[in-house]
Structure 1
Amino acid sequence: MGPQQGSDGLRQPWLSSHALLLLPLALIVVITVVDIRFPADIHLGPALVIAPALTPSLAGPRMTGLVGALAVAAQVIIAVFHGGLTTANHIVQIVTLAVLSVLVVIYSVIRERRRAQLAQIRSVAEAAQHVLLWPLPEQIGPLRVASLYLAAEDEAQIGGDLYATDRMDGAVRVMIGDVRGKGLSAIGEAALLLGAFREATHRHTSLPELAAALEQSGSRYLADFEPAEEVDERFATALLVEIPDEDPITRMTSCGHPPPLLLSPGHVVTVPSLHPAPPLGVGWAAPGDYTLDVFSFEAGDTLLLYTDGVVEARDAGGRFYPLAERVAQWTEASPEALMHHLRRDLLAHTGGRLGDDAALIALHRTPDAHHARHHGRIFPANGFRHRHGAHPHGG
């Protein structure tokens, strides 16, 4: 966006709000002129209260007070032309309009104070949420990265879905997860899982070991803080991904999470055949209980991670969002463009409102990302290129 476009975008809301302020002023003028020209037994003056009553939705207390004063002045002018200011009817109308205008100004003051308080609370909440869910870097190691988060609750920037990345020696680790629940009520569990990932990812050399550490952290937390009525109902799915810099593969360990999509040039979308373990939090697990799946991830490919809020989003007819079908048309888009297309398409599918939190991450391996294309044999398996010889503790 250029400077001229940015300044135009700022001016347009300002101009539109000031243009709308002409509406109550025009009402005062029209009602006054029509009332003066109509016979004396027809009284349109009481309708002047519409002008100050309308103003708080367009401006603040000062402008509301000014419009109220103009409405009272217009009522005085009408009284002068229809029998004078001393008639009981006109006195009652002027006093009533003045009192109502004062009440509207008081309402406008209270409304502005509450709006300022809400804005302050919202800014604090947004700051806290952004601290919890750190923005992903645009470039990390050999990968270009873009993410999208759509919270189900209007006032929330994040909810029960989560993601994080970390840089290892010669590799990038990514976690995407989904805790039970949605919106603000699920942030506690999301914070726990994110903190555990950031703490444990550098202490465990394999993804199965990392998954076991996350399970242990979650189990300890739930044992101490889980309400009695929610025993065995708190859990989270997670997908752990490790992408080496110098090897065209990706390692994955799934804890009950949906498999990602691999987008290759030429509108090719494939799905890995994972061996998922149970979600985190449903039982104590050891590293040997988790499977490490290894697949090829060539230069030019894009790995799309997502939560179930995406594929379970429904349209008005109850049909799920066909993610794999839709992304097939954008396999050659950049990560940023892919997120833009998916956001617009997903919201169009759901009519602008999601029933659950939704998160997506696009990881694109740049063409010059690796120098070891022949470090292993690559075999096709289940429509997805699977590296031969994968085992739970290494690639």
Structure 2
Amino acid sequence: MAAQRRFAGLRQPWQSSHALLVIPVVLILVITVVDIHAPPDVHLGPALVIAPAITASFAGPRLTGFIGGLALAAQAIIGVFHGGLATTNHMVQMVTIAVLSVLVVFLSAVRERRSRQLAQVRSVAEAAQHVLLWPLPDRIGPLQVACLYLAAEDEAQIGGDLYAATRTEHGTRVMIGDVRGKGLPAIGEAALLLGAFREAAHQHTTLPTLAAGLEQSVARYLTDFEPEDEAGERFATTLLLEIPDEDPITRLTSCGHPPPLLLRPGEAVTVLVHPAPPLGVGPTGPEDYTLDVFSFEPGDTLLLYTDGVIEAREPAGGFYPFTERAAQWTDASPETLLHHIRRDLLTHVGGRLDDDAALIAIRRTTPPHPSRRHGRIIHGGGFRHSSTTSQ
């Protein structure tokens, strides 16, 4: 099936270029017929060089050379009807068409070679980007998941926004973040944070200790690679979530990141969180992070996002009304929900974002087994643990 798709993708440009080939062929026929029937002092033959020039804009050197040969043959036919090929005028015109056609074919060959090189580089870049930002599976335990990434830079599929998810012994841990900057220059910090999370998520028992571990990784990276003129200006906002399989709750620790939306039938509410400073701002320990807990029942959908979504502006300057728009699609599946948001967001900004944007939609699909209560404040372990409800 994949081979068939690749073959279809290669065949489509080939078919379109051959369809466009009708234009220069018809142009050659029209010029030839009109020139043959025109008065002797009217010479349209030099205009034949337009045909290979047009062909080079959509076809390769072979088709361009073929059209150039047709143009040269057409000039020969015109010469036969206007005094013969031995006349100086027709000889000069044929040499001119031949030289210009060869030049156009050469330029077409150079362009095609560069296009192939660009396609190869783009293919390698896309592969590298996919390795860095792994697509999330549609299903993680009892969760239905969909993700969306909109890069601000052309030809880039990722930038400074990031997300990741991993299964643990008792549930799922999710991270979404946003490093300072956008597009390709921000990939270095994003790669560091993704790698650190994928490893540390399985080593720390609580989200505050996980956040402290990520802070240490970011601090070491900045010590080694942060330019002197940007000292203190590089940081990353991060949202860490832990969704148990057996409890209808979600645990959350925010490092300066926008709070998630909780979607229930007919409403979209912002989860109340107690954010700590972003990663990289300063040394912090587990005691500096708050663990917020809120209800996440079967049928509920969590919508995680980066500031590229809520700070997107329309041409007139108005921000994207994210909460109000998301409330329109609370009954949609995660994939359909992100499809609606993507289309609506791009329409709002006029088709192009000024900053990277990432979203994750998570729906709990199976009822967990009732166990521990979750409407209380817990203190312990060297970090603050507060239970919150969305308001």
- What range is the shorter-chain TM-score in? over 0.9
- Residue 8 of structure 1 and its aligned partner are, at CA, apart by 9.0
Residue of structure 1 equivalent to 2:296: 297
CA distance in 1, matches of 2:202, 2:330: 32
Deviation by residue 1:95-139 (Cα, 9 ceiling, x = unmatched) = 111111001111111111111111111111111111111110110
Q: Give the aligned partner of residue 329 of structure 1.
A: 328
How far does the alpha carbon of each residue in 1:353-373 deviate from its partner, in whole angstroms, 9 at most, with x for none? 11111100000100x24122x
Residue pair 2:144, 2:363 contacting (<8 A) in 1 also: yes
Match of 1:280 in 2: 279
Q: 2:347 and 2:252 mapped to 1: Cα distance?
A: 31
Which of 344, 364, 376 is 1:388 aligned to? 376
In the alignment, the residues of structure 2 paired with residue 333 and residue 172 of structure 1 have an alpha-carbon distance, to the nearest angstrom, of 22
Matched residue, 2:175 = 175
Contact 1:143 1:369 in 2 (8 A): no
Count of aligned positions: 381
Does structure 1 conserve the Cα–Cα contact (< 8 Å) formed by 2:163 and 2:174? Answer: yes
Return the alpha-carbon distance in structure 2 between the equivalents of residues 100 and 10 of structure 1: 30
- Alpha-carbon RMSD across the aligned residues, in angstroms, is 2.1
SS in 2 for 1:25: helix
| Residues 44-90 of structure 1, C-alpha deviations (whole Å, 9 max, x = no match) | 11111111011122221111110010011111111221222122222
What whole-Å deviation, never above 9, does each CA across 1:137-171 have from its counterpart, x for those lacking one?
A: 11001100100011111111111000000101111
Contact 1:304–1:363 (Cα < 8 Å) also in 2: yes
SS in 1 for 2:100: helix
- Pairwise mapping of residues 1-395 of structure 1 onto structure 2 (< 5 A)? 14-265=14-265, 267-366=266-365, 368-372=366-370, 375-376=372-373, 387-391=375-379, 392=383
Cα pair 1:260 1:305 within 8 Å, conserved: yes
Report the alpha carbon displacement of residue 14 of structure 1 after superposing the two structures with TM: 4.9
CA distance in 1, matches of 2:8, 2:74: 37
Q: Distance in 2 between matches of 1:160 and 1:223?
A: 19
SS of the counterpart of 1:281?
coil
Partners of 2:12 and 2:120 lie apart in 1 by 25
Compared with structure 1, are the counterparts of its residues 110 and 330 closer, same or farther at alpha carbon in structure 2 (3 Å cutoff)? same
* Cα distance between partner residues in 2 of 1:136 and 1:369: 22
- Unpaired runs of 5+ in structure 1? 378-386
The one-character-per-residue Cα deviations of 1:275-331 (angstroms, maximum 9, x if unpaired) are 111111010101111111111011001100000111111111111111111111111
> Which deviates the most, 312-321 or 256-265?
312-321
- Determine if contact 2:289/2:384 at 8 Å carries over to the other structure: no
Distance 1:269 1:190, change over 3 A: same
Q: Does the 8 Å CA contact 1:316/1:351 hold for their aligned counterparts?
A: yes
Q: Percent identity?
A: 71
Deviations 1:201-246 (A, max 9, x none): 1111111111111111101110111111111111110000110111
Cα deviations by residue, 1:261-284 (Å, 9 ceiling, x for unpaired): 11112x210001111111110101
**Contact 1:206–1:393 at 8 Å: present in 2 too?**
no
Q: Shift in Å at residue 13 of structure 1?
A: 5.4
Alpha-carbon distance between aligned partners in 2 of 1:68 and 1:247, rounded to the nearest angstrom? 73
> Is the partner of 1:240 in helix, strand or coil?
strand
Rounded Cα–Cα distance in structure 1 between residues aligned with 2:5 and 2:168: 41
Q: Distance in 1 between matches of 2:340 and 2:121?
A: 32
For the 8 Å contact 1:311–1:320, the answer to whether it is kept is: yes
Listed as ranges, the gaps of 5+ residues in structure 2 are: none
* One-letter identity of the residue aligned with 1:260: P
5 and 196 in structure 1: CA distance in 2 versus 1, 3 angstrom threshold: closer
The answer on whether the counterparts of 2:297 and 2:367 sit within 8 Å (CA) in structure 1 is no
**Matches of 1:201 and 1:271, distance apart in 2:** 25
In structure 2, give the amino acid aligned to 1:371.
H
Deviation, structure 1 residue 42: 1.4
Amino acid at match of 1:350: V
Residue 100 of structure 2 aligns with an amino acid whose one-letter code is L
The structure-2 alpha-carbon separation of the partners of 1:218 and 1:8, relative to structure 1 and needing over 3 Å to count, comes to: closer
Taking the aligned partners of 1:235 and 1:343, their CA distance within structure 2 comes to 27
The structural deviation recorded for 1:15 is: 4.0
Q: SS at 1:270's partner residue?
A: strand
Amino acid at match of 1:51: A
Contact 2:251 2:292 survives alignment (8 Å)? yes
CA deviation after TM superposition for structure 1 residue 6, in Å: 11
2 CA distance for matches of 1:14 and 1:100?
25
The code of the aligned residue for 2:63 comes to M
Amino acid across the alignment from 2:68: G
SS of 2:55's partner is helix
Distance 1:24 1:300 in 2: 60
Distance 1:349 1:9, change over 3 A: farther
